[in-house]
Chains A and B, each alone.
Chain A
Amino acid sequence: MPFPNVRLANRPLHFIYICDCSGSMAAQGKIQALNQAIRQSLPGMAEVARQNPEARVLVRAVSFADRAIWHLEQPTEVQQLQWLDLQAGGITAMGEALELVAAVLQSPPMEERALPPVLVLISDGQPTDDFDAGLASLMRQPWAQKAVRLAIAMGHDADTEVLQQFIGSDPGGGLPAGEIPGASGQTPMHRSGRSPRRPLQASSATSLAQYIQWASTAVVGAASMPASRMAGSGPQPNIPLPDLPPTLMDPTDDVGPLVW
């Protein structure tokens, strides 16, 4: 006879992509790279969701250019998700995008009980609207304060200052806020200098795909089911973040822009 038809109670885990679709994303195939990276990451994300019976992983996406709009408005179970391509064109209404996210993180529509949401902001440029107002209204939401906020800078024209503000201050310290190891050419690139509490520098389609994969699998895992804990890791933040993926051997990675 089968085991009774019951399963572990689960909580929703909202995962929201906030994607820059401004005109510059059309250059050099960046928007295609982003679409491809997200699409490629979905099977792994679905697998992690299945391995975490405590979580019901629900994905949404905001795109921002001249305006911010919901690209994927319905919270969608990752197993059912079919990614529609983002299109690039326009300016960079990043502040408005954060307003949109703020609106869905208030309860209701946010569930009364949930796992910490994961917000992933991906940008290649500067906000052209009132970013501060957008961030302020986002951070008024308790669920946004509890959220794991990650940022991916595509290329070296991204405004790492605003991306760092989105993440919040890096408790690990080391580099000044907004500074990306290797980005300025002054700070030597060192693996241990990378931190998930700082904007992740994606300088190629491959590293972008790695970071998207990391955010959608390792981070989703950490936010939904705790991982092994090591001694001496000190006081834990809201959600201890997993190690970043190992860097590639590609020696041209992270040395700075070559073509644009």
Chain B
Amino acid sequence: MGSARPSARVWRPETPSQPSVNWILPEGASLDLEGISSPLQVLRGLGGGTQGQVFEVEVAGERLALKWYLPACIARDPHLERRLGESIRATAPSDAFLWPLALVKSSQGAVPLLRRGEPSFGYLMELRPTGFVGAHEHVGGHLAIGLLQVLRASFFLAEAFHALHLKGLCYKDISLGNLFLEASSGRILICDNDNVDVDGRDLGSVLGTPGFMAPEILMGRARPGANSDLFSLAVLIFRLLTRHDPLRGRRELAIRCLDEPARRRLYGEEPLFIFDPADPSNRPDPIEHVAALITWPIYPEPIKQLFEQTFCTGLQAPQRRALTGQWMAALAAALDQRQLCASCGQETFPAPSDPAPLCWSCGCPMPPPGRLLLPHGQVTAAPGNELHAHHFDRLLPLRLNQPLARVEAHPSDGDLLGLRNLSGQSWQAELRTGNRLMVEPGQACNLAPLVRITTPAGAVELPS
């Protein structure tokens, strides 16, 4: 007995080189799985949780990620396989989702190779590209990121849920844990799309994550769907924009031990928005909740109104929560009015109608900026601001991922602003002198002497 493994009973410490994770799929193995025609090679384990483990794999020369479920997870969620199959057939709502590409199941021959010897299944998806980090890195203050990128990320998040909801689907379990950001661009990726379901059908077991769940879900009055997604989306946008929680104000300070019953009270039984205009009793504490107090004044009124809509009236009225399209419009408009403070250089978002705006950061008065007037809207002339197709045609959907032009500072004279042609077509610029010049794709033109730029998409007017 035990002669083959004589040392098994000795408490020999694991050597430091030994990985401490026990991968269900053996690294290096080649597995024949149902659902794909080529063998799948397990390259390495990437991570694991209570649901399952994620591996980097190679299938027919292509590197992909494989999420493989633990049998206990499948047992808790009997419709998981069916939902995944339907999601795969429905295809990704947008490229912001690391969407399931194919369902793979352990075949008879592969089961003995699995560490636990139990049949299971998983799904293939794209690998998360380098450069994307967990959104918790931003909320925890570990990520160097600008307000421009944070607002863009919020827009992309709303846009992704817009596309998902338009497909008749809902996500059910948005939280910081499923969101990844690219700090340099604000692009996002949404992971863990395995709870996605047809809205209203409720073929799933997940309820959500406390802190992000709508009160009616936490309290068991409703099941998750598109309306509860809207609540979770607003929480996530609030967390991105403020690095704070929308419901944690003074009421949280009365709680000594923040455990499940306490979270239930904060988020379900007695939720109150920290900036509720009608009830100030849950305002942020000036010491404990300083992040909310510093960041809230940064944002334009329409964004604040959407938070109030969702966290005040919409708290108990799910159908009155701000919609994905409203978020997209408010966030895109905020980006259009982004202006750099002449004194401190900080990014500010004064409304064009504000006669005497002050910088939220240093308090200095902000002189009126140069503006680019477009057929549909206006964009402040500040480095980094972009013109998009929807600025020229109000029938086009709001999109930020294919800018036609970007305001840039001259590389050696930062005070000199130009507009770079990011489109594939030539522009004609008209100078105050009446002269005209061509701005070819990739070129930038100095804005100071211009009155108008004519592009194939439409005209950009520069009022003096």
Contact = CB atoms under 8 A, between A and B. Distances in A.
Interface of A: 1-9, 11, 28-30, 32-33, 35-37, 40-41, 44, 50-53, 112-116, 142-143, 146, 154, 203-206, 208-210, 213, 218, 225-232, 236-240, 242-243, 245-250, 252, 257-260
Given A7-B291, A238-B259, A252 B11 contact: no
Main SS of chain A's interface residues? Answer: loop
Contacts of B134: 51
Interface in B296-347: 298, 340, 345-347
A204 B255 CA distance: 41
B257 interface: yes
B116 A246 contact: yes
B150 interface: yes
B244 A8 contact: yes
A224 to B, nearest CB: 9
A205 B12 contact: yes
A9 B260 contact: no
A3 B244 contact: no
A8 B140 contact: yes
A3 B29 CA distance: 45
B315 to A, nearest CB: 19
Contacts of A51: 134, 136, 177
Contact of A245 (B1, B8, B22): B22
19 contacts: A1-B345, A3-B147, A4-B294, A4-B295, A6-B244, A29-B10, A33-B11, A33-B12, A53-B139, A112-B256, A113-B256, A116-B258, A210-B20, A229-B208, A230-B205, A236-B260, A243-B50, A249-B117, A259-B9
Contacts of A227: 50, 209
Interface in B197-253: 205-211, 213, 223, 239, 243-245, 248, 253
A206 B8 CA distance: 9
Contacts of B259: 115-116, 146, 238-239
B260 A113 contact: no
Contact of B11 (A7, A30, A143, A257): A30
A252 B5 contact: yes
Interface residues of B, number: 75
A240 B260 contact: yes
Contacts of B145: 2-3
Given A2-B144, A227-B50, A259 B294 contact: no
Contacts of B22: 210, 245-246, 248
Contacts of B127: none
Given A36-B14, A228-B208, A9 B244 contact: yes
Contact of A205 (B11, B50, B150): B11
B109 interface: no
A53 B141 contact: yes
Given A6-B295, A8-B243, A113-B255, A50 B10 contact: no
B376 interface: no
